[in-house]
Amino acid sequence: MSSTTESAAAPANKPNWLINRNFALLWVGDVISALGDYSFTVTLTIWVALTLANHQVWAPLAITGLLLAATLPMIIVGPIAGVYVDRWDKRRTMMAVDLIQAALVGVLVLTTFAPDGHLPLGWQLGIIYADSFLLVSVDQFFNQAGNTLISDIVAPADQPRAIGRVLTMVSIGTIVGPAIGAPMFVLLGPTWALLINACSFLFSFALLLGIRPPNAAESDKQAAERKKFFPEFAGGLRFLLNSPILRAMLITFVISTIGTTTLTALNVFFVTGRENLNAPPALYGLVGASLGVGTLVGSLIGSKIVGWFGFVQVFWGSLLAEGLLILIYTRLTIFPAALVVLFLLGIPIVAVNIASGSLYYRVTPRDVLARTTAARVSIISVAALIGSTLAGYLASTLLIKLHVNALGTVFGPVDTIILGGGVFALIAGLYALLTVHYTAPPPEPAAVPAAPAEPSAEAIPAAESQPSQELA
């Protein structure tokens, strides 16, 4: 009973920013892990784009390779992870993944000690891509287990706040991680950023040891007895596609992801390109930091915004804001102004995730949560793959010589492709406005207590067996 009670929200007169002890341990571990992850990401991006592929015409395609290595596991491994995570103990799954990821980053660290010229460029890129692929592959199990664990340790009323706190953690990583990673790469090379990331996984492992989730073991034991993979995966996919709200949200994310991935794929070239922001590579970390500050602000106020305007309104409104801000960003040539726009862009990015995540928890039963989420992530990852591949291909081939003066401004290959991505985000927002609808179910009537003189023999056992929280 003590672990179940611990998962409940803090009393109203003693608000707890991190909700409860279990969630606090999970959150702190994820903060440290996120710092390492974002330092790792910016290190790889600068390493590949501005060192290994420096001044090469195929540099955008090299960055596309990184995005492919990070996207393909979501498509291939994500559905598998969803099925098995629904069967396994969630905390132990996350701990095992932490150890595997620390070892994988350690392998990449070893390659940085090879003398210059002794490791051919093709081998260097191949090792980076393969290691990234494996890291993201095992991360699918971690993410799906974490999603379900949050639903176990946080009461439904506090879940929007919990999602906001998780996104706060991501924001801290995007602010501090790139700010550490980019200067560290310029001064010391890739080795230290990789070592920091490896240590962050070990720290996350240590904190997960202290989490004591409510007793969901019986549900996991029953799930573990299921042995057929494809029927289980098909069940999660069927639930996703048969739910009108989940289906509409999925289509919305597919459209927006195709567009916004162009910014992810080409932003390093937009920031450093002479026709665009023309900033030195050492300042590239400020781009992620600026976006991170915006997402931090969004994570702190996002749950309140959702409370004021509603899940659906925040969902489509945030997508429209994203598209508009991306359009503005592509027309800028002043680096400080770009940082301001990226800061503003971070707020709707978080708001749309809080709104959509809260809706997913409310309409998806726990026993199919991981499978349904994995199927959704897999489909959205295909959209990301399409967007990043198309962006890299167009920037390296068909549009490489684009230079058009129109409406008093110059359109080059990189900014034009990102601008097209902003248009996709606007289309996604309009589609969501027309198709995403949700009505909260009426609250269940309060149970009438039995008369003291005639207590029900089953009342006490039933009350004790009642879980501390359910998904609506």
Which domains does the chain show, CATH number per domain? 2-214+228-439 (1.20.1250.20)
pLDDT, one tens digit per residue, over 165-186 is 777 777 676 667 666 667 777 7
Cβ(403)–Cβ(276) under 8 Å?
A: no
pTM (two decimals): 0.64
Residue 357 has pLDDT above 60, yes or no: yes
Residue 205 has pLDDT above 60, yes or no: yes
As a whole number of angstroms, the distance between CA 436 and CA 82 comes to: 25
Q: How confident is the model at residue 325 (pLDDT cuts 50, 70, 90)?
A: very high
- The per-residue b/e assignment along 443-470, b for 16 or more CB within 10 angstroms, e otherwise, is eeeeeeeeeeeeeeeeeeeeeeeeebbe
pLDDT, one tens digit per residue, over 233-287 is 777 788 888 888 889 999 999 999 999 888 888 888 888 887 878 888 777 778 8
Q: What is the pLDDT of residue 160?
A: 73
Q: What is the pLDDT of residue 5?
A: 39
Residue pointed to by tokens 């962006």: 391
Q: What are phi and psi of 410, to 5 degrees?
A: -105, 135
- The per-residue b/e assignment along 6-31, b for 16 or more CB within 10 angstroms, e otherwise, is bbbbeeeeeeeebbbebbbbbbbbbb
- Among 11-20, 114-123, 305-314, the range with the most confident prediction by mean pLDDT is 305-314
- Among 51-60, 118-127, 210-219, 423-432, the range with the most confident prediction by mean pLDDT is 423-432
pLDDT, one tens digit per residue, over 362-373 is 888 877 777 787
Q: What is the pLDDT of residue 467?
A: 30
Average pLDDT over residues 334-349: 91
Residue 427 has pLDDT above 90, yes or no: yes
Burial class (CB in 10 A: 0-12, 13-18, 19+), 80: middle
As a whole number of angstroms, the distance between CA 334 and CA 269 comes to: 15
Residue 340 has pLDDT above 50, yes or no: yes
Q: What is the pLDDT of residue 165?
A: 78
Instruction: Please report, as a single letter, which amino acid is at residue 461.
Output: P
Instruction: Give the count of beta carbons closer than 10 Å to the beta carbon of residue 199.
Output: 14
Instruction: Please report, as a single letter, which amino acid is at residue 448.
Output: V
Task: Tell me whether strands 409-411 and 404-406 are parallel, antiparallel or unpaired.
Answer: antiparallel
pLDDT, one tens digit per residue, over 290-308 is 887 888 888 788 778 888 8
Helices (H) and strands (E) in the chain, counts: 17, 2
Q: What is the pLDDT of residue 466?
A: 31
Q: How confident is the model at residue 11 (pLDDT cuts 50, 70, 90)?
A: very low
Q: How confident is the model at residue 226 (pLDDT cuts 50, 70, 90)?
A: low
* DSSP symbol at 456: -
Residue 156 has pLDDT above 50, yes or no: yes
Q: What is the pLDDT of residue 461?
A: 34
Spatial CA neighbour of 245 closest among 149, 155, 410, 355: 355
- Among 34-38, 131-135, 436-440, the range with the most confident prediction by mean pLDDT is 131-135
Instruction: Please report, as a single letter, which amino acid is at residue 269.
Output: F
Residue 412 has pLDDT above 60, yes or no: yes
Q: What is the pLDDT of residue 125?
A: 82
DSSP assignments along 69-122, one per residue: HHHHHHHHTHHHHHHHHTTS-HHHHHHHHHHHHHHHHHHHHHHTTSPTTSS-HH
Q: What is the pLDDT of residue 459?
A: 35
Greater confidence (233 vs 222) lies with 233
Q: Which of 221-235, 417-431, 443-457 has the lowest mean pLDDT?
A: 443-457
Q: How confident is the model at residue 218 (pLDDT cuts 50, 70, 90)?
A: very low
Q: How confident is the model at residue 429 (pLDDT cuts 50, 70, 90)?
A: very high
Q: Tell me the average pLDDT of the chain.
A: 77
Q: How confident is the model at residue 428 (pLDDT cuts 50, 70, 90)?
A: very high
Q: What is the pLDDT of residue 105?
A: 86
As a whole number of angstroms, the distance between CA 364 and CA 184 comes to: 43
